[in-house]
């Protein structure tokens, strides 16, 4: 199943199911709200609803969720990133609980104060679908609601802007643990990042299991699996265009403004 949040007006969003060439509206303001309704959320996501054809559907999607209770990032999870930072490959995942300034979606403008060093980069996002605590690696994938694309844009020392979307893809639509997916990112149309989720130093199941020992994960929580090398190639300026994409999931396009 593929789910998204549609921006109906400047102030209204709605959850929707993507059914091939049509969109089915769901009675929730966003996908995050849908996932937090309980373990039967997938039944609610599959329920009948008002149908929009592609030709009549809104062009823009909003963020999949408007609220993150827990947002966990992996500091270094690609060998290329460790080499870029001139640091040894970590023996275990280093998990960061990241403060969030705001959450935005595809095609939204990201307003930032001018700064010489702005961090960003494409990441595979893992959305939790059930309450999870101290789960073993062998059962960790059962806790996942789905996968999405994330681009976390941050000035060091300040809360991050989290771009998330454009779809939540349930695990049955992708390889186990979302392995074998290509990640790419461009800046002003120029390639900056390319990697594959099979190159993760710590796979999705390991990250979910490890995170669940630090905190009880709740439906709608987000874990990002780390960004590959080359995020520091090219400075962001007023008008910079960022694109972050993962094969089989989708693409995020955003513009920076000061």
Q: Could you tell me which of 166, 170, 134, 128 has the C-alpha nearest to residue 150? A: 166
| Domains and their CATH numbers in the chain | 2-53 (no CATH), 71-257 (3.90.850.10)
Strands 122-128 and 144-153: antiparallel
User: What's the pLDDT at 84?
Assistant: 85
User: What's the pLDDT at 232?
Assistant: 55
Res 234 pLDDT > 60: no
Kindly state the tokens that stand for 5. 């949040």
Res 5 pLDDT > 60: yes
Res 43 pLDDT > 60: yes
User: What's the pLDDT at 242?
Assistant: 95
Query: What pLDDT band is residue 156 in, cutting at 50, 70 and 90?
Result: confident
Residue 201 and residue 79: Cα distance in Å, rounded? Answer: 7
User: What's the pLDDT at 228?
Assistant: 93
Mean pLDDT of 6-10: 81
Residue 124 and residue 224: Cα distance in Å, rounded? Answer: 6
Q: pLDDT tens digits for 52-94?
A: 866 555 568 888 998 888 899 998 999 998 888 888 888 999 9
Res 215 pLDDT > 90: yes
Residue 52 and residue 243: Cα distance in Å, rounded? Answer: 27
Q: Could you tell me which of 221, 207, 38, 45 has the C-alpha nearest to residue 128? A: 221
Res 240 pLDDT > 70: yes
Mean pLDDT of 16-33: 91
User: What's the pLDDT at 55?
Assistant: 57
Query: What pLDDT band is residue 130 in, cutting at 50, 70 and 90?
Result: very high
Query: What pLDDT band is residue 231 in, cutting at 50, 70 and 90?
Result: low
Kindly state the tokens that stand for 47. 């329920």
User: What's the pLDDT at 59?
Assistant: 61
* Residue 117 burial (CB count, 10 A): 11
Looking at every residue in the chain, the average pLDDT score rounds to: 90
Q: Could you tell me which of 18, 43, 161, 164 has the C-alpha nearest to residue 105? A: 164
Which residues are bridge partners to 150 per DSSP? Answer: 123, 164
Mean pLDDT of 216-235: 85
Q: Could you tell me which of 225, 243, 228, 254 has the C-alpha nearest to residue 74? A: 225
Q: Could you tell me which of 242, 220, 222 has the C-alpha nearest to residue 233? A: 242
Residue 194 and residue 233: Cα distance in Å, rounded? Answer: 13
Is residue 127 a contact partner of residue 207, using CB atoms and an 8 Å limit?
Answer: no
Report the Cα–Cα distance between both ends of the chain, in Å, rounded.
Answer: 37
Query: What pLDDT band is residue 117 in, cutting at 50, 70 and 90?
Result: confident
Lowest mean pLDDT among 82-91, 109-118, 137-146, 243-252: 109-118
Res 31 pLDDT > 90: yes
Is residue 250 a contact partner of residue 61, using CB atoms and an 8 Å limit?
Answer: no
């Amino acid at each position: 199943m593929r789910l998204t949040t549609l921006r109906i007006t400047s102030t209204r969003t709605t959850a929707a199911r993507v059914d091939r060439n049509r969109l089915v509206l769901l009675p929730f303001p966003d996908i995050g709200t849908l996932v937090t309704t309980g373990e039967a959320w997938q039944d609610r996501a599959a329920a009948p609803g008002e149908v929009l054809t592609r030709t009549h559907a809104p062009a823009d999607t909003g963020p999949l969720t408007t609220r993150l209770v827990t947002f966990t990032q992996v500091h270094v999870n690609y060998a290329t990133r460790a080499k870029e930072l001139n640091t040894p490959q970590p023996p275990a995942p280093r998990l960061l609980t990241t403060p969030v300034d705001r959450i935005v979606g595809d095609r939204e403008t990201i307003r930032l104060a001018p700064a010489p060093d702005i961090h960003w980069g494409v990441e595979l996002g893992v959305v939790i679908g059930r309450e999870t605590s101290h789960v073993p690696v062998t059962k960790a994938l059962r806790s996942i609601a789905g996968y999405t694309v994330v681009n976390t844009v941050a000035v060091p020392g300040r809360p991050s802007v989290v771009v998330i979307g454009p779809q939540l893809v349930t695990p049955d639509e992708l390889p186990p643990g979302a392995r074998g997916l290509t990640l790419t990112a461009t800046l002003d149309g120029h390639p900056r990042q390319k990697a594959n989720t099979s190159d993760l130093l710590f796979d999705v199941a390991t990250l979910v299991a490890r995170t669940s020992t630090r905190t009880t994960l709740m439906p709608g929580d987000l874990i990002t699996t780390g960004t590959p090398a080359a995020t520091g190639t090219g400075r962001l300026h007023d008008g910079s265009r960022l694109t972050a994409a993962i094969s089989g999931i989708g693409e995020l396009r955003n513009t920076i403004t000061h």
